[in-house]
Amino acid sequence: MENGSELNEEKVILEASGYHLNNHVNGNGLSSIEEDSSQGGLVQAFEEEASQLKPVDYSGFTKKEFVGLLKEAAAKNDFKAAEEIIREIKPLFDEMRSRERAEALARFKLDGGNEDDFYFKGDEWDTAFDIYIRSIRENRHRHLKELEEIKNSNLVSKNNVLEKLRQLVDGEDTEHSFRQFKDIQKEWKSIGAVPQTQIKTLWANYNALVDRFYDQRSIYFELKELDRRKNLELKYELCARAEKLIEEPKIHEAVKELNELHNEFRHIGPVPMEEKELVWKRFKSASDAIYTKRDGILSTLLKELESNLSLKQKVIEELSAIAGFQSDSIKEWNQKTKEIIELQKRWEAIGGVPRSKMRDINKKFWSDFKTFFHSKNVFFKRIDEDRSQNLKLKTELVNRALELKENTDWESVSNELKELQRKWKEIGPVPEKYREKVFQQFKQACDYFFEHRRQSVDKEVIEQRENLEKKEGIIASLEKIAEEKNGTLKEVKELQDKFNSIGFVPKRSLNTLKARFSEALTNAISSLPGLGAEERNQAALQVHISNLRQDPLGERKIHQKEYQLRKQISKAENDLVVLQNNLEFFGRSKNAAKMKEEFNVKIQQAGEELQNLKKQLQMLMAS
């Protein structure tokens, strides 16, 4: 009976240490405590499950940001977290790298390259990404190797402790045996983890030796009971701490601490047999309450993730309707961009989705998102090219305006600048950062010219008014000579020269003034005393020629006058020759004398007319 009791006690010790606890069973047939006890697996399992339920959305990350994640993970030496990040981001990074390689290959082939000669090196982020992954995995391998070495070392240490305990149990009982036993227990507890395959065997041997120690040393039974009572107090303290964890708002923190409590519970020695089941049930009840709370939170979180999935699918439907948008209107592109940004904000505000759906749904959203902005970039690149061309054209207009602004050919330059302004309006917009600068340069050049022209015109108007007064004074003097009939040809010519030397007059007065002057000049010459008809004609011709010289079209009119005179001279010479030839035939006529006389008169008149025309031509050429 005694041996059977001890065997039952050994079973209790093993259960109190964390083995064969079947009241909280998972899908593998093992309790959560039994499954995770050796490596702190309870906390790891929960954190892993929580990380899967709340995944980070990496689909919008750049290559630089992915490298930053690896750099940060490498610095922390959290290899499990680092491997999780690598598992998440490496497919996304490889996809980006493959797309860049395909684009580079397309450009290489477009430039005439042979695909067999193509080599894709990648950029600095590709190199950094590979280096960090290799570093993390090498460090992880080294770390695991070190852990395995430590565990093997711990296994040796624990076997040494077992050997000490076996020697103590098999040796003679002394007054120091119990103290030595306690020292061995402390040493056993202080040794860290061992290889998983050795855990149960070690604990079975250890607890068997402990039970043998207590059984063989009945003289220390009272001390044994006191020790078990102390162990009982410690386990009840752990129960109280476990019960308090239900109030912890962060469930993952509660589970993590519960795992530590289970580890302590297992390392505390045996308790009185009558209390063993009670203390374990209390501790297990507190643990189950925390697990139930965790399961409830996880269930709620799963429902929330499913709801988020539905909301994100609706956002994708709206985005897909816009992704293929095309337009030639900047306003419409900007409007659609606002709609896209609003959809992105809604997307980001929704939260996580089930892990199994995350990659596909993110790929669809960001693919449509990038499709829209690629089309927009193509459109605005074309706009930028057009605006750059517009800038070139407007810069040419600016340079021409700057060349013209100092020119004083008011009418010609004014017309050209107005034409430049018309072309400016037709060209269209330029890049925003140059718009104000190039416009101000053009405007200032135009304003400079037109302001100087206005100042010049104002001055010119005053001068023309003064010239008008002077010329009206000369006309008055000529009219006075005509009226009094006491002037000389020299005075008349001096007044004419003075009139012609005076500058421009207001345009509206020009025709009237010229008519008055011509009339006054003609009347003045006609009124001069002592002039014969020929002198008056010559004087009138000189006045006429002088007026032609002052006319804006004077050269043209003089050439026309010259042409007319030469034509008249030629005709007069021909007429004179005909008359002279005809005169010879009159000698055989009965009335020859009378006919000769008439023809001689005509010949004389024709000769005088010819001489007059030649004098006019001579005066015209000499003027």
Over residues 131-156, the pLDDT tens digits come to 988 888 888 888 888 888 899 999 99
Rounded to two decimals, the pTM is 0.39
Residue 623 and residue 621: Cα distance in Å, rounded? 6
Whether 546 is in a domain gets the answer no
588 pLDDT tier (thresholds 50, 70, 90): low
**Average of per-residue pLDDT across 601-616:** 70
Domain boundary among 310, 325, 347: 310
Residue 352 and residue 150: Cα distance in Å, rounded? 40
| CB-based contact 571:601 (threshold 8 Å) | no
Whether 174 is in a domain gets the answer yes
Whether 522 is in a domain gets the answer no
36 pLDDT tier (thresholds 50, 70, 90): very low
The pair of structure tokens assigned to 222 is: 């009272």
What range defines the domain where residue 197 resides? 2-310
Residue 536 and residue 293: Cα distance in Å, rounded? 134
Whether 44 is in a domain gets the answer yes
Lookup result for tokens 């929580």: 50
Q: Is the pLDDT of residue 574 over 90?
A: no
Q: Is the pLDDT of residue 212 over 90?
A: no
Over residues 220-244, the pLDDT tens digits come to 566 677 888 899 899 899 899 988 9
**Average of per-residue pLDDT across 330-359:** 87
If DSSP codes are grouped into helix, strand and coil, which group holds residue 299?
helix
The alpha-carbon radius of gyration of the chain (Å, integer) is 60
Q: Is the pLDDT of residue 6 over 70?
A: no
C-alpha triplet 286, 287, 293: angle, nearest 5°:
95
| CB-based contact 372:321 (threshold 8 Å) | no
Domain boundary among 260, 280, 310: 310
The pair of structure tokens assigned to 64 is: 């630089």
**Average of per-residue pLDDT across 172-194:** 84
| CB-based contact 407:413 (threshold 8 Å) | yes
Q: Is the pLDDT of residue 599 over 80?
A: no
Residue 362 and residue 347: Cα distance in Å, rounded? 10
Whether 445 is in a domain gets the answer no
Q: What is the pLDDT of residue 617?
A: 66
Whether 283 is in a domain gets the answer yes
Residue 252 and residue 245: Cα distance in Å, rounded? 11
Domain boundary among 310, 327, 356: 310
Contacts of 347 (CB under 8 A, 6+ apart): 312, 315, 365
Whether 43 is in a domain gets the answer yes
Count up the domains in the chain and report the number.
2
**Average of per-residue pLDDT across 604-609:** 71
| CB-based contact 41:28 (threshold 8 Å) | no
Whether 45 is in a domain gets the answer yes
Which of the residue ranges 23-27, 93-97, 473-477 would you say has the lowest mean pLDDT?
23-27
DSSP state of 303: H
Which of the residue ranges 36-40, 46-50, 288-292, 337-341 would you say has the lowest mean pLDDT?
36-40
